[in-house]
Amino acid sequence: MGDVTRILADIEQGDPRAAEQLLPLVYDELRKLAAQQMAHENPGQTLQATALVHEAYIRLVGDQPGEQNWDGRGHFFAAAAEAMRRILVDSARRRGAQKRGGDVERIHFADLQAQSGEEQIDLLALDDALKKLEELHPEKARVIKLRFFAGCTLEETAEILGISRATTQRTWAYARAWLFGQLQPK
């Protein structure tokens, strides 16, 4: 059992010092994940990668040790990616509300770029489409979240979800195409 997995188990058991031990071990990976997520944001974004890491970490570990239930390192980082996605979506909603609905923040969805050229995708529309996909096909939404938001490889995604690489690849292709269809102007 690795250090991260052991500390996650200690957090589940309610050890108040475990959360302090976890951050130094996962900070660099969380920072890379945040930087990857922030790379899709337009210039002028006020939220910085460091702030995104700290906000996500607080949401994940929080003030109440023992409330989390981690199945290991992969589950923790998948949850971190989901927390970062939600923070970015919340931030985009706040900016949209501040501007009374104008200038919705756009991000570049790299994996759809090959299919859509240089278009940029509306983060709020992406979030809505992802929620719809989650209602229809929860397993396909999990693959999208792990691949795009957590930056997992096909192999890592398959391992985390407990499915074959081939199934992961088919699910990834279907989910990307489905999202692309949902994000096309009507």
pLDDT per position as a tens digit, 167-180: 999 999 999 899 88
Model confidence pLDDT, tens digit, residues 137-173: 999 998 988 887 777 888 988 988 899 999 999 999 9
Please report the pLDDT score of residue 34 as a whole number. Answer: 81
Residue intervals in the chain for CATH 1.10.1740 = 1-100
Angstrom distance (rounded) from CA 150 to CA 144: 9
Residue 66: pLDDT above 70? no
Q: How far apart are CA 148 and CA 153, in angstroms?
A: 9
pLDDT digit string, tens, across residues 97-111: 655 444 444 444 454
- Listed in sequence order, the DSSP H helices in 13-109 are 18-38, 49-61, 73-98
Average pLDDT over residues 108-118: 45
Task: Give residue 61's pLDDT band: very low, low, confident or very high (50, 70, 90).
Answer: confident
pLDDT recorded at residue 107 = 43
* Cα 5 to Cα 12, 20, 70, 76, 77, distances in angstroms: 11, 14, 8, 9, 11
Q: Kindly report, as residue ranges, where domains of CATH 1.10.10.10 are found in the chain.
A: 108-186
**What is the band of 64 on the pLDDT scale with cuts at 50, 70, 90?**
low
The CATH code of domain 1-100 reads 1.10.1740
Q: Average of pLDDT values for 35-39?
A: 75
Tell which CATH classification among 3.30.1540.20, 1.10.10.10, 3.30.1280.10, 3.40.50.720 matches the domain 108-186. 1.10.10.10
